A and B are shown apart, each in its own frame.
Chain A
Amino acid sequence: MNDNVLWLNKLVPKHILLDDAEVETKLKPLNVIREQLPKILLKDPALKALDNEAKPGDVVEIHRVSESAGANLAYRVVVEE
């Protein structure tokens, strides 16, 4: 589902939609609850590339390339506005 052309550009970090079980396993070790996550707008182009599957309250995992750490994972919660 994630082989959209958008990810072909190296400046666009890859976004992956997590299901509830994954959210649980990934956020637990970070000591973070959903409400404390940074937000991402539902209308964000990166979410559109996920075939519009994301809905408010979902969590996406973002594979960012960090200048300081190389690969880096970030999590954002989808919000309507």
Chain B
Amino acid sequence: MREMIPKRIGKIDFALMGPKEVRKLSATKVITADTYDDDGFPIPMGLMDLHMGVIEPGLRCKTSGRKMDEDPGHFGHIDLAMPVIHAGYSKTVKDLMNATHPSSGRIMLTQDRIDHYNKQIQALIDSDAGTTVTIGGITRRAIREAAKAKTCPHCGEPKIKVMLDKPTTFREEGRKLTPKEVRSRLEKIPDSDLLCLGFNPKITRPEYMVLTVLSVPPVPMRPSITLESGERSEDDLTHKLVDVLRINQRLRENRDAGAPQLIVEDLWELLQYHITTYFDNQTAGIPTARHRSGRPLKTIVQRLKGKEGRFRSNLSGKRVNFSARTVITPDPYLSINQVGVPELAARELTVPVRINIHNLSFMRNIIKENFMPSDPDTYIPGINYMIRPDGRRVKLTEDNWEFNHDRLEPGFVVERHLMDGDVVLFNRQPSLHRMSMMAHEVRIMKGKTFRINLCVCPPYNADFDGDEMNLHVVQSEEARAEARILMRVQEHIRSPRFGGVVIGAIHDHITGMFLLTYGDASYDIDQTVRILSRVDFKGDLPKPDYPKAEGGPRWSGRQIFSVLLPDDMNLKYNSSVYFADRSVQENEDLGMIVEIVNGNMIKGPVDGNSISAFKGIILEEISRLKGANAAKEFIDKVTRLAVGGLMETGCTTGIDDADVPEDALAQIFAAQKKTVKNVDKLVNTYNAGKLQPRPGRSAEETLEVEIMSLLGQVRDTSGEIAGWHLGMDNFAVIMARSGARGSMLNLSQMAGSIGQQAVRGERISRGYEQRTLSHFNKGDLGADAKGFVRSSYKRGLNPTEYFFHSMGGREGLVDTAVRTSRSGYMQRRLVNALEDLRVKYDGTVRNTANTVVQFKYGEDSIDPTRSKFGSAIDIDGLIGKLKRGEK
């Protein structure tokens, strides 16, 4: 595996290629603006000349004699009839012309200043500390100083400023300078002046920025493709080079024939255009060159630049083997660190295994089982390829398997199909944080989708509306160990972002646990055993909470749940259903405060605040104190228990969950009517000019603020009225209160009133002149005219309300779209800036140059993953421990 390093690169110089070098590099001169002759053979000295490489099988390169695919090709060249500016350097050319004097060619600085700058640059070069940036800074200052000079200190003549008309036209007092003139000016600059202009005269001369000869890229860099119809289609670069050659030819003919100046100049400019677009077809200031179909040509810069360019797409972007992608579906009976892999994928994905005396018989057996299955219904991994000790790869087939089965022996490497327990990396894009790619254990399954436990949805941000995920099989022993230790799902239950859990129960699991444990829910022996069997509970049943209940002893849901808790757990916290508007005592009496004593849950329901991702306190406690594996175990069991609990109770919701009694509706309407009247009153006061403005606000603003607050209040009141009639017997309410899904606001909008619609945080005011819609009077500032929606979702909106609601909804959609794209770009910049920082063993954060970024990681040296929501110690927990007399 380890190869010798034939040469080590010590230093790279970047420089311009001069005409001499271009010709030296060239394998052939190109003169014919054509590619193939009628027989389809490359025309000599044409753009597909065989000296520049071959793209057809059978032919041989005339320069190196190699065949197609062996030959990377060779450059050619085109001699330009007239020189042409390289558009990429036009700005540098302008600066150089302004810093030097046209008659003497000297930089317009006194010898003292030249020496001064030369000394600085030379010092940087000698010390080897100079970077392009630091030297560039000095030359820039030198050029700026020289450009300021009115007269040349060497010849004493005045200087005329050269202007640049982008991209390639130079003007001196309005007179156009031809590229020829530009080039002769640059040629005049003496070598001795070049150093402080930023050139190393031994390598590069400034006149190289005006082209006299154009390098032609090798044929394999711009291969032509043969369409099904047998028609040849050339690469965009070839097309562009054809244009260049054609105009170049015409320009030469016209010049030699002594054609009028005007015609020659036109052709010259056209040549300039073609060469400019050949380099960059998106040069500002000139039209883009297009294909016959109207598609813009993809020329050199376009090949390199941007997301689809060579750098970001091919060099930084990596494509991999041993990977699979398919739709994901949920499976609560998988552990959080497992992933269900379809058989179809498992038989394509392989793991290299070196044969030794211990696994030889196993491997022989699976080869046999795969071609002569004893039980076709069970999945048994097979082997796709055998790699013999001499390095030859042999594919196992129906015909050769018996032979290869027999000669398999230690020293061989086989590529074994995926099997249960293999470690794979699982990923969902966008990969925004490290939990977007975690290591899972494989479980081979029937079907065609990847199966995951629902608790790992939050870190991946996955749902099952068609999401697809990627799977990568790690190939080496080192990678496997690394994935196992660092990347396994349980190692990521705690987030490094905020020191809480990111993996935990969601949606139905929360509802399930809540229904199992809320209030005085209890279960008879059959139910209890059925539920507990789902978590593989072994041992004696706890003493029933209701031993003398009718029809036999009954166990409370809390007891059943307590089976999963560690014995030394003591906690007291508010549950999700805690009434924020009532006193602690009241909540205590209602059983809204959770209390766990010595691993037994005495009070309170298990809901969002206990076990959910991001908020779950019990989960947080277990993962912090008992470690990753215990937390994994706990989450797995909670998942199963929740399903068990849900199966006993059932849960359903529908539109009738938003039903409220007639008198409640009447109350809501009355409250609305009253508010709307109050709004009208406010508007009248305002119209009469009697509204007292609030400090710092105009009268209009005051009116708006007051109306908004009134309408906000009425939405809350109608929500409250609706809420009184929606009790805990209502599954929609249960889901909202327990933190499973939805909120009470959502419910009151369904049952009570949707409320004020807003665009840009204000009541809706756009539309027609002085009114939002033609249904209202001009200048109407009342509630209905400015986007207040009295209706509920269930009763339905009237047309004007519907319109306002759509306006508000549109803003929401646009906001999310803008937010995602913006935050994505921000993330990219942030990652690029920070990717090579790391925490060293001495606790400092340093970059690759070993310079310090932080003297102490996070300034407090705390690993947030091991903290409790960011703080290193859990003071409340410690106090509780001391109170109980533990140490």
Contact = CB atoms under 8 A, between A and B. Distances in A.
B850 A66 contact: no
B870 to A, nearest CB: 8
A5 interface: no
A68 interface: yes
Contacts of A38: 851-853
A35 B851 contact: yes
A66 B860 contact: yes
B842 A73 contact: no
A27 to B, nearest CB: 10
A38 B856 CA distance: 13
Nearest to A72: B859
Interface residues of B, number: 15
B741 interface: no
B855 A73 contact: yes
Interface string A16-54: 000000000000001110011110000000000000000
B858 interface: yes
A31 B844 contact: yes
B850 A36 contact: yes
A68 B844 contact: no
Contacts of B862: 68
A30 B855 CA distance: 8
A59 B856 CA distance: 18
A20 to B, nearest CB: 19
A4 to B, nearest CB: 25
A12 interface: no
B252 interface: no
A69 B860 contact: yes
B846 interface: yes
A74 B856 CA distance: 9
Contacts of A35: 851
A73 B870 CA distance: 21
Interface string A57-81: 0000000001011001111000000
B144 to A, nearest CB: 15
B80 to A, nearest CB: 43
Interface in B712-726: none
Nearest to A29: B842
Contacts of A66: 859-860
Contacts of B853: 38
A74 B844 CA distance: 11
Contacts of B849: 36
Contacts of A30: 842, 844, 852, 855
Nearest to B853: A38
Interface string B859-874: 1101000000010000
A76 B856 CA distance: 14
B222 to A, nearest CB: 45
9 contacts: A36-B846, A36-B849, A37-B851, A38-B851, A38-B852, A68-B858, A68-B859, A68-B870, A75-B855
Interface of B: 842, 844, 846, 849-853, 855-856, 858-860, 862, 870
Interface of A: 30-32, 35-38, 66, 68-69, 72-75
